[in-house]
Structure formats: C-alpha cells, structure tokens
Structure 1
Amino acid sequence: MASNGSSDYALFPQSMIPTSASSSLPEGYTLRPLRRSDYSRGFLTCLTDLTWIGDITESAFEERFDWMATKGKDWYYCIVVDDGSRIVATATMIVERKFIHDFTMVAHVEEVCVAASEQGKGLGLIVIQALNATAKNLGVGKLILDCSKENVKFYEKCGYSIAGQQMELKYTN
C-alpha cells in the first residue's frame, strides 16, 4: 500500500484482519496493522522483550517500513496490539508464493512478542489467531514457525503442531 502522499499509513488494509480477531481484547486495546508512525508508539521497544534490536533510528525504521509496504507488498503482514498509548504486542507473517503444490502459499510466522508488562492477558494468542485468520483469508496453504522448546505448548494451544527440525546457516556481516 503506497502512502498516497501521507506520512502515516498502514502496512496493509485493516479490513484484512477479521473483526472477530479483536473480540477478546481488553477494553481500550486495538488490533491493527503496523503503521509507519509506530516507531514513536514503541514498536521496537516492544520487540526488545523478544530479542536484541540494534540501534535503529526513526528514519531507518520508516525506510524499512516503506520498502515492506511497496517492494514487499503482499508479502509482509505485521499485526500489532495498541493499548491506546503504545504497542504492547506484535506478530509478523511473511507470505511465500511457491511453484509446488499447485502454486500454494506458505506463511512464515515471525517476531511474535508481547511486552513483558502485558503478558498473561492473552495478547499472544490474539495476535497469532489474527495472523492465522488473515492467512486463511489470503488462501495460504499452511503457516510455519520456529520456536523454543519452552514455547511449544503455547503454539499447540494456537493450533500448531511439531513438524520437523530447524536448520540454520549464519553469516556475520
């Protein structure tokens, strides 16, 4: 989705997230797509409860957001929970279009995070269910994710099952 001259816009249309996905949110919380302005609403601060982020400036965040919204359009779906003043939960889905299995689409779930101060409110389940429903509406054939052993039971509650092993090859840049 292009900005259409506006300095703030969503990564994808709100209408792609089923309204039912918001039904169990605490009062005053909103489930929505990531917005270009979410740097100032603490999006990266929320992610620091998941992993190391690095020193990312607002302009660098906006540049990456703009790339995802234009060149990565229809690939990147980042959903956030906003408590009215800051981002308190997030999850991202990257859609891969394949040649195999009759041109199926596979979605990779990434960067699932709930701010430490907000854990225990069911927000992780809500963002995963929102991604699951969005993927189904897009026609995705399956969703996959990698998680630690400690998080397996959580993802099983979300409908996922163990399906193999993860491998990696790391590069140092």
Structure 2
Amino acid sequence: MQNGLDDSLLFPSRLLEELDWSQCSAQFKPAISATAPGDNLILRPLQASDYDTGFLQILGQLTSVGDVSREMFQSRFDSMKACKDTYYILVLEDICTSQVIGAASLIVEQKFIHSAAMRGRVEDVVVSKDYRGKQLGKLLVQTLTLLAKHVGCYKVTLECSDDNIKFYNNFGYEKSAENYMVARFKD
C-alpha cells in the first residue's frame, strides 16, 4: 500500500509473459519486447498507486484529463478491475525515476455476433515527449495487438488521424471502409 492506495494490478501481469512474439508484425531495431522494453524501463499493467507516478499527467500529453481526485481515480480503477477481462491498461515506467512515461489501453467488448466473440479497441496510446523516438509507442501498440489476439478477440480496431495511418499499418492495421462517427457530450 502506497499513500493509502491499493497496489493491486488492473490485470494479471502473467498475460504479458504469455504473449507470442513470433507473431509480431512490427520490427524493432534494436530489439525490445514487453519483457525487455529498454534500459531502466518496465512495461506492466496499470496499478492503483499510479495515481502518484504520473499516469494522469502522461494522459494529459494526449488529451484533456480534467481534475481527477485520488478518490475518483481509485473508484474508477476498482470499477475497471471488477470488469474482469475487459480493461487492459499498460504503462511504461522508468524505474530510475519511478514515473510512468507511457501508456496505452485495450478495451475488450463482448459481442453476440461471430459466435459470441470479443472485439478489442486500442485507445489512449501516449509516450512522454522526453522518451519519444525509442520505439516505445510501437511497443505499446504491438503488445496490445498481441494481447487482443491472446485473450480471444476476433478483431482489434483503433482510431487515428490520417497522419498516423502509416504508423499503424506496421502492425497489420488497415484503413477500413466504414466511416467513424462521433457524438460528443463533453470535451
């Protein structure tokens, strides 16, 4: 327990160890993986104590986070953890600074179609400005793509700007013919 927060992981870290990297579609030079992301870095599931390690600040480099209190964070963490096999949030931590320097999410949706299959969605991929150019965004996306397959998703999707299409093509993602529509209720 750190600062009153439960240090439990959002999902079992063994899932990262079970990934089949022989199915990796991206190339890493130099070689990195979920179990060896680089010097002084670890890739792991989100834990409740990440409220104090910069997780929300990293998300703030991607989009508006708002004012999230410790209690709000813990409540959301507990809610996500209770939805077993649904939320897989990865963080990259610099173990020298004990700070989160990257994050990405896989959300698994249970369906009735495709014989009651599951669909994955990759979201909220971000790497700290100070750590970009080290293949870490690529590592996050590849790990979540392999994880989606490992947990049984029949497909995995993501949303991106036109500028990022080429990046995501490296992982086997293709631009679909469907239109992406949105109805926003909050920023």
**Quick check: TM above 0.5?**
yes
Structure 1 residues 75-154: aligned runs within 5 Å: 75-84=86-95, 85-154=98-167
Map of 1:3 onto structure 2 = none
* TM-score, structure 1 normalization: 0.91
Over the matched positions of the two proteins, sequence identity in percent amounts to 38
8 A Cα contact 1:24 1:126, kept in partner: no
- Could you tell me which runs of 5 or more consecutive residues in structure 1 were left unpaired when the two chains were aligned: 1-5
Deviations 1:19-66 (Å, cap 9, x if unpaired)?
A: 653255111100100000001000001111101110111121111001
Which secondary structure does the structure 2 equivalent of 1:22 belong to?
A: coil
For 2:142 and 2:149, the matched residues in 1 are separated by 11
* TM-score, structure 2 normalization: 0.84
- Could you tell me which runs of 5 or more consecutive residues in structure 2 were left unpaired when the two chains were aligned: 22-32
For 1:56 and 1:170, the matched residues in 2 are separated by 20
Deviations 1:98-143 (Å, cap 9, x if unpaired)?
A: 1111111100111111111111111101111111111111111110
1:38 maps to amino acid: D
Aligned-residue Cα RMSD (Å) equals: 1.6
For 1:67 and 1:118, the matched residues in 2 are separated by 30
Distance 1:16 1:23, change over 3 A: closer
1:82 maps to amino acid: E
2:85 maps to amino acid: D
For 1:34 and 1:151, the matched residues in 2 are separated by 25
Which residue of 159, 165, 170 corresponds with 2:179? 165
For 1:24 and 1:129, the matched residues in 2 are separated by 13
Map of 1:10 onto structure 2 = 9
- 1:172 Cα deviation from its structure 2 partner: 4.5
Deviating 4+ runs (over 4 angstroms): none
